[in-house]
Amino acid sequence: HSTLAGRWYPADAEILSKQITGFFEKAQVQPINNVIAFILPHAGYQFSGQTAAFGFKTTDKKYKRIVIIGPSHRVPMEEVLSVPRVTHYETPLGEIPLDVEFIDRLLKYSVFQNIPQTHKHEHSVQIEMPLLQYRQQNFNLVPIVAGRCSLETITKAGAILKSLVDDETLVIASSDFVHYGRNYGYVPFTQNIPEQIKKLDMGAYEYIARLDSKGFLEYKRRTGATICGYVPVAILLSMLDKPIEAKLTNYATSGELTGDFSNSVSYLSVAFSGMW
């Protein structure tokens, strides 16, 4: 059952559909062939729904299985990822069946656990679901919530997932990018704020474009960049190799949308094309 409806997106199915339709109509994108993965933002739809649509709209492919990896915002977890032991998730747009078989396979590995309380209120995974329902029919979902993980755990989780996905699987790493301002305890600069934020975000994107999981984690450590979904992003990058290509499909900031950069969150959508 959706704990986000009415707060992060409209609870009414018709209003929600209309809002999502608006996002997709506004998103002018070049189609991309063989999209196998995305990085997408996870703020409330009024902030980042448009950026997410710029990503999703690049592919018309129908996927049988969609894996979403999001960070745990509420439940502290160390060196572990959690998958739910339920059969369906629900949003105002209807039910989504979970890929129970795939989840069972993940649970054979100790790095994947079932920690029920992590899933109930985790917006980073749930926020993507109505957008998926709008674009895709008949898919099974694999929701994964990631704790804080070392490079070793990230690489292990990536290798396990890579061994199980196929060409009808889409993987989404859910992450917002730089959280700037006193609200987030991150004020590395006070001049030219929009430009400086963008520079930090694009510095992170350079490692993403190179599919460099280790470099991306090192960049985050070096700059202190407040990228909440850095573990899901690093897991996804560890699953990808050249000649897979990354394309930045949209970049936005809440500061731009509200006209106030004293606190700002960045949103990127990135599409990855190629073969697993």
52-71 pLDDT, tens per residue? Answer: 999 999 999 999 999 999 99
Taking only the tens place, the pLDDT of each residue in 131-181 is 999 999 899 999 999 999 999 999 999 999 999 999 999 999 999 999 999
Q: What is the pLDDT of residue 126?
A: 82
Q: Pairing state of beta strands 81-82 and 65-71? A: unpaired
Domain regions of the chain by residue span: 13-273
Look over the chain and give the mean of its residue pLDDT values, rounded to a whole number: 93
- Nearest alpha-carbon partner for 126 in 7, 253, 265: 7
* Band (1; pLDDT cuts 50, 70, 90): low
Residues 6+ positions from 45 with CB-CB distance below 8 Å: 8, 9, 10, 19, 20, 23, 127
**Residue 29 forms beta bridges with which residues?**
none
Tokens of 96: 């989504």
Superfamily of domain 13-273: LigB-like (3.40.830.10)
Q: What is the pLDDT of residues 60-107, one digit of tens each?
A: 999 999 999 999 877 789 999 999 999 999 888 999 999 999 999 999
Yes or no: say if 38 and 272 are a contact pair by the CB < 8 Å rule.
yes
- The per-residue b/e assignment along 182-197, b for 16 or more CB within 10 angstroms, e otherwise, is eeeeeeeeeeebeebb
Counting residues of the chain whose pLDDT is more than 70, the rounded percentage is 95
* Residue 8 pLDDT exceeds 60: no
The whole-angstrom separation of Cα 82 and Cα 232 is 12
What is the chain's Cα-based Rg? 17
Question: Which among 203, 152, 142 is positioned nearest to 177, based on CA atoms?
Answer: 203
State the pLDDT confidence band at 122, using cuts at 50, 70 and 90: low
